[in-house]
Amino acid sequence: MVASISSLITITLISNLSIVAVWIFLRNHKRIHQISISLLLLGVFLIYIRLMVPFEFTFQQTIFVKHLLPSLLPFFYHPIHHFHRFTVYVYHVILIIWMVGIVCFGFRTTLAYIKFKRLLDEEACVNDGVITYIIKDIEDGYGISSKIRVVQTDIISVPLVFGLFKPKIILPQMELTQKELHSIILHEVTHYYHHDLWIKLLVEIISVIYWWNPLLYILKQQIDKVLEIRVDLKATKFMTESDQLEYLECLLKIAKNSAPPQVSDFSLAFDSRNVSVLSQRFHIVLNHDLKRKFGIKGCFFAMVIMSVFLFSSFVVIEPYAVDPEVQHETIELKDQKSYLLVDHHGGYDLYINHRYFGKVKGM
Together in a domain, 205 and 68: yes
Task: Give Rg (Cα) of the chain.
Answer: 29
Mean pLDDT of 51-68: 74
- Give the chain's domain count: 2
Together in a domain, 231 and 355: no
Asked if 263 and 158 touch (Cβ cutoff 8 Å), the reply is: yes
Q: Which residues constitute the domain of residue 43?
A: 2-319
Together in a domain, 345 and 199: no
Together in a domain, 333 and 228: no
Together in a domain, 154 and 70: yes
Choose the most confident range, by mean pLDDT, from 78-92, 224-238, 285-299, 322-336: 224-238
Instruction: Name, in order, each residue with C-beta under 8 angstroms of 74's C-beta and a sequence gap of 6 or more.
Output: none
Helix 5-25 crosses helix 37-52 at what angle (to 10 degrees)?
160
Together in a domain, 222 and 303: yes
Together in a domain, 334 and 248: no
Q: Which residue has the higher pLDDT, 218 or 33?
A: 218
Instruction: Name, in order, each residue with C-beta under 8 angstroms of 193's C-beta and a sequence gap of 6 or more.
Output: 142, 144, 146
Percent of the chain residues topping a pLDDT of 70 = 83
Model-level pTM greater than 0.85?
A: no
Q: Which residue has the higher pLDDT, 61 or 164?
A: 164
Average pLDDT, the chain: 80
Choose the most confident range, by mean pLDDT, from 45-49, 232-236, 337-341: 232-236
Mean pLDDT of 166-192: 89
89 pLDDT exceeds 60? yes
Instruction: Name, in order, each residue with C-beta under 8 angstroms of 345's C-beta and a sequence gap of 6 or more.
Output: none
